[in-house]
């Protein structure tokens, strides 16, 4: 499944505009999901060099055939460059082919690779000071999904919901967490997913207090809280869903936690609209849990963006103080506010160590008029 050629061209335009605001016309893209978004290339190794007149996709011998097919599909906007020695040798040769400064992705390029480029380019008589750290250039385009991406995310959300319904319907006391995880993964394959987006979380009884409790050999008991958090990759795009259920009455405390989390999630979903900020959405969930005295039990952010990565922008959480020290002048601007086309999770939770926990998660799309929920599974606590 390849993005249509006109959408690829439109993505290139978006990124070139973001680059221009940083005073650049060339960008070395080393982050694989960014490479994929710009070209459709989904191999395990490859880079893009954005040049003023073309987008160069750099791959080694293993991927030349499939990369050429992509380039052909994209018309003449993508050119494939084959690696002869190493990727970085090829990249250094391309970079040194023009004197124009080159931005690089500072959050992806390692210090070791950067030192190598500096030495190699200097050795070629290229002023390594023209290698400029940047941040969020491609991400500033990826944060708003285009129509092709939204089709995949909608379809992925619908299929993930169907898989979840099937797994919940088969749940019986005595089955182990691992066998539930296996049923999820078999279900994802049958439903046409590329694979799971992450290790399926099945956390029952006291393990439900572990926000990231991978499936264990523990059998699920009657009346226990079970957190089931599953994700699938559909056509390259990640969707993510959590339900917390109990096979039989889990008791008054657990019922109260579930009711509070459900109320918090509903409030956060209702708060989604263009112009609001991700922090507003987080605050909506947090305030509800605070009123129930459960604020301190909500130990993570409310959500995260979905797309080619299962965690991407926007981060839906409280404002962070830590960005202050970053001396990065080459940072592209991510929208502060919600914009139609953003897709993210809303997943408040409550965790009580030693006793259990509850999390409820759905995926939402910001629309012109407000919000569209992409996942659809009853948020019932007690299954009989």
Question: Binding a second copy by CB under 8 A: which of 14, 93, 176, 182?
Answer: 182
Q: Quick one: which segment of 151-159, 241-249, 251-259, 315-323 binds a second copy (CB under 8 A)?
A: 315-323
Nearer to a second copy, 88 or 280 (CB): 88
Does position 110 interact with a second copy (CB under 8 A)? The reply is yes
Cβ neighbours of residue 174 closer than 8 Å, sequence gap 6 or more: 219, 220, 221
Q: Are 377 and 161 in contact (CB under 8 A)?
A: yes
Does position 43 interact with a second copy (CB under 8 A)? The reply is yes
Question: Binding a second copy by CB under 8 A: which of 53, 76, 99, 111?
Answer: 111
Tokens representing 83 are 């690696």
Question: Binding a second copy by CB under 8 A: which of 53, 76, 322, 384?
Answer: 322
Does position 218 interact with a second copy (CB under 8 A)? The reply is no
Query: Omega of the bond prior to 269 within 30 degrees of 0, cis?
Result: no
Distance CA 126, CA 190 (A): 53
Nearer to a second copy, 66 or 266 (CB): 66
Distance CA 63, CA 11 (A): 23
Tokens representing 195 are 């694979």
Count of residues of this chain found to bind a second copy when the rule CB under 8 A is applied: 48
Does position 1 interact with a second copy (CB under 8 A)? The reply is no
Q: Which residues of 199-229 are buried (b: 16+ CB within 10 A; e: fewer)?
A: ebbbbbbbbbbbbebbbeebebeeebbbbbb
Question: Binding a second copy by CB under 8 A: which of 10, 21, 86, 291?
Answer: 86
Does position 120 interact with a second copy (CB under 8 A)? The reply is yes
Angle between helices 177-190 and 147-169 (to 10 degrees): 140
Does position 189 interact with a second copy (CB under 8 A)? The reply is yes
Question: Where in 221-240 is the site for a second copy (CB under 8 A)?
Answer: none
Minimum CB separation of residue 106 from a second copy in Å reads 4
Does position 211 interact with a second copy (CB under 8 A)? The reply is yes
Does position 263 interact with a second copy (CB under 8 A)? The reply is no
Does position 73 interact with a second copy (CB under 8 A)? The reply is no
Does position 44 interact with a second copy (CB under 8 A)? The reply is yes
Query: Omega of the bond prior to 314 within 30 degrees of 0, cis?
Result: yes
Distance CA 340, CA 364 (A): 11
CA pseudo-torsion sign 353, 295, 213, 178: positive
CA pseudo-torsion sign 34, 40, 46, 50: negative
Per-residue contact string for residues 266-285; x = within reach of a second copy by CB under 8 A: --------------------
Could you please report the per-residue DSSP string of 9-71? HHHHHHHHHHHHHTT-S-EEE--HHHHHHHH---SSS-EEEEETTEEEEEE-GGGHHHHHHHH
Tokens representing 15 are 């990124």
User: Which three-class secondary structure state does DSSP give residue 295?
Assistant: helix
Does position 82 interact with a second copy (CB under 8 A)? The reply is no
Question: Binding a second copy by CB under 8 A: which of 35, 39, 50, 63?
Answer: 63
Question: Binding a second copy by CB under 8 A: which of 73, 79, 114, 355?
Answer: 114
Which residues of the chain form contacts with a second copy (CB under 8 A)? 43-44, 61-63, 65-66, 85-86, 88-89, 104, 106-116, 119-120, 123, 133, 135, 182, 185-186, 189, 195, 199, 209-212, 299-300, 320-322, 325-328, 353
């Amino acid at each position: 499944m390849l993005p249509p050629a006109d959408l690829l061209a439109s993505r290139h335009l978006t990124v070139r505009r973001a680059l221009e605001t940083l005073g650049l016309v060339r960008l070395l893209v080393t982050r694989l999901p960014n490479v994929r978004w710009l070209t459709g290339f989904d191999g395990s190794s490859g880079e893009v060099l954005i040049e003023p007149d073309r987008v160069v996709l750099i791959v080694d011998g293993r991927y030349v055939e499939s990369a050429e097919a992509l380039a052909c599909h994209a018309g003449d906007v993508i050119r494939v460059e084959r690696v002869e020695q190493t990727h970085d040798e090829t990249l250094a040769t391309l970079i040194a082919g023009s004197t124009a400064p080159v931005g690089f992705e500072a959050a992806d390029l390692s210090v070791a690779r950067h030192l190598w480029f500096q030495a190699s380019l200097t050795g070629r008589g290229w002023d390594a000071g023209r290698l400029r750290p940047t941040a969020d250039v491609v991400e500033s385009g990826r944060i708003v999904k285009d129509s092709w991406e939204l089709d995949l995310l909608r379809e992925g959300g619908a299929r993930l919901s169907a898989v979840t319904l099937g797994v919940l319907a088969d749940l019986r006391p005595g089955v182990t967490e691992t066998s539930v995880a296996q049923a999820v993964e078999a279900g994802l394959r049958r439903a046409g997913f590329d694979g799971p987006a992450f290790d399926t979380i099945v956390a029952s009884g006291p393990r439900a207090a572990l926000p990231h409790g991978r499936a264990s050999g523990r059998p699920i008991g009657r009346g226990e809280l079970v957190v089931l958090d599953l994700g699938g990759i559909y056509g390259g795009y990640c969707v993510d869903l959590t339900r917390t259920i109990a096979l039989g009455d889990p008791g008054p405390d657990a019922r109260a936690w579930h009711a509070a989390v459900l109320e918090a999630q509903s409030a956060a979903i209702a708060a989604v609209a263009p112009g609001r900020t991700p922090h507003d959405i987080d605050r909506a969930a947090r305030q509800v849990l605070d009123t129930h005295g459960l604020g301190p039990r909500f130990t993570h952010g409310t959500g995260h963006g979905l797309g080619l990565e299962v965690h991407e922008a926007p981060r839906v959480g409280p404002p962070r103080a830590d960005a202050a020290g970053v001396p990065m002048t080459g940072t592209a601007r991510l929208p502060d506010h919600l914009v139609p086309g953003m897709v993210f999770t809303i997943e408040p939770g409550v965790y009580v160590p030693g006793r259990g926990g509850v999390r409820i998660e759905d995926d939402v799309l910001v629309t012109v008029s407000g919000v569209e929920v992409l996942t659809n599974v009853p948020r019932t606590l007690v299954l009989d």
